[in-house]
A and B are shown apart, each in its own frame.
Chain A
Amino acid sequence: YALQGSRWRVKNLTYKISKYPKRLKRVDVDAEIARAFAVWSEDTDLTFTRKTSGPVHIEIKFVESEHGDGDAFDGQGGTLAHAFFPVFGGDAHFDDAELWTIGSPRGTNLFQVAAHEFGHSLGLSHSDQSSALMAPFYRGFEPVFKLDEDDKAAIQSLYGRKTNQYTPTNVYPPSTQRPSYTPPKVPLDGSVCKDSKVDTIFNSENGDTFAFKGDKYYKLTTDSVEEGYPKLISKNWPGLPANIDAAFTYKNGKTYFFKGTQYWRYHGSQMDGAYPKEISEGFTGIPDHLDAAMVWGGNGKIYFFKGSKFWRFDPAKKPPVKASYPKPISNWEGVPNNLDAALRYTNGYTYFFKGDKYYRFHDARFAVDTATPPFPRPTAHWWFGCKNTPSSTGFRRR
């Protein structure tokens, strides 16, 4: 997912429909728009109240061609609607040249497009996950609508998880709220600023980012460490040992941890079965004593790194590792051997970590990204938010 950068300061928002579509009954439009807003109340404390007049947060209009905001609609097809981010007012405009329909495969489904546009009104940008509601392309009528994990992680990163009992007006399966676990606090130490080498870094199912180091873990914010960390790994992942080699979360929502010849599988903080198992048992073709592992955003496959080599693992294939692997890590232009960690971060980029430095990888060019300051950059400054540490490594990448 991607965030535009602004959000509402309040969670109880109001809206009004100041111009209705030509071809639908108002009462039906009111119901569909309410259902579309309710999509975003399901996993947060956001509430949406319809008003018929006066000032509101989000104004909705069905209009055609040029309609006063400088972004003319283009007739049937093409652009269906657009919305403004909170900092620009949050309003949503729908092209009334479209054949808006309700609960039918004909025309364009009002509920789906409206739910997408309200994501923008709340601060979400487009996602490159084709299964996400916030993907830019209309996918046709979906009789059974389900918000993608990518969308949930996005909206919760802006407005937090659901804590109130407010049930949205639409009919959704009650979300299975995992009991939140607050492990005992371990006093924050500055050691990670002196020695920022990590064992592994991975994202959890709901988009949190964790760095493991020894027997402790750090929960990362967008540019530093969350208050009260590090904490003990064993307190949040009961049964998991210290000094983990590698970790990743797969699209099945499970997180896999690797150490020596063994691996563990967790769902959130719960061990997901009888673990540890042997890597050779669950990941045929993958070696022991790994350096790093990740799910690469370029193709959704699992990549393992060890020494100067890497393996690609595809659970859907038999065998899951082609005979052409391992291949040299030098194929990933600019990435060094003997890595410590690899991560596909929530901003869509792929990152590699080695020692106290990290590399950002440009997936489209299949090479380490060029930027200022150049890569590698110091991990302490950019990932752990360590104040008096340099922001660059002072030499240009060869």
Chain B
Amino acid sequence: AVQSAPVSTTSQAEIYLSQFGYLPASARNPASSGLQDKHTWVSAIEEFQNFAGLNVTGELDEETMKLMSLPRCGVRDRVGSSDTRSKR
């Protein structure tokens, strides 16, 4: 059976964060990967860590990549723009 690869590199993490709504969809395109500015990259990791209940470090650490490798639902965590939160 085909096994889905665990997340163990920065570019795999970039694809993951884009797939689930933390980075723009363009980041899933290998040709453009690595073109994130630092602030966007750190914010995306912080958002994922905050959502997943991890320590919010902004670093792509072991703990974070381990969680990214867990089986999960394919629907994005961040749906639409950030203002899907209530109006307030």
Q: List the interface of chain A (C-beta within 8 A of B).
A: 2-5, 65, 71, 73-83, 85, 97, 108, 113, 116-117, 120, 125-126, 128, 130, 136-138, 222-223, 298, 345-349, 351, 360, 363-365, 382-383
Contacts and interface: CB of A to CB of B under 8 A. Distances in A.
Interface string B49-88: 1111100100000000001001111111101100011111
Interface string B9-50: 000000000001000000000000000000000000011011
Interface residues of B, number: 31
B88 A75 contact: no
Contacts of B87: 222-223, 382
A95 B53 CA distance: 26
Q: Per DSSP, are chain B's interface residues mostly helix, strand or loop, or mixed?
A: loop
B31 to A, nearest CB: 18
Contact of A348 (B56, B72, B73, B85): B85
A138 B49 CA distance: 17
Contacts of A382: 87-88
B71 A80 contact: yes
Contacts of B3: 75-77
A2 B4 contact: no
Nearest to B1: A76
Given A75-B3, A76-B1, A82 B84 contact: no
9 contacts: A79-B72, A79-B73, A120-B73, A120-B75, A126-B77, A128-B50, A222-B86, A351-B88, A364-B47
Given A75-B3, A77-B3, A78-B71, A365 B77 contact: no
A140 to B, nearest CB: 9
Contacts of B51: 126, 128
Contact of A136 (B46, B73, B84): B73
A80 B77 CA distance: 15
A74 B80 contact: no
B4 A77 contact: yes
Contacts of A365: 46
A345 B75 contact: no
Nearest to B46: A364
Interface-central residue, A4, A73, A117, A126, by most chain B CB under 10 Å: A126
Top 3 A-B residue pairs of the complex, sorted by shortest distance between their CB atoms? A78-B4, A75-B2, A82-B74
B71 A137 contact: yes
A85 B76 CA distance: 11
B75 A346 contact: no
A382 B83 CA distance: 14
Contacts of B80: 4-5
Nearest to B87: A223
Most buried by A among B1, B3, B71: B71
Nearest to B88: A382
Given A81-B74, A83-B73, A136-B77, 18 more contacts: A4-B79, A5-B80, A71-B74, A75-B1, A75-B2, A75-B4, A77-B4, A78-B72, A79-B4, A79-B74, A80-B71, A82-B73, A120-B73, A126-B73, A126-B75, A130-B53, A223-B88, A363-B50
Contacts of A97: 1-2
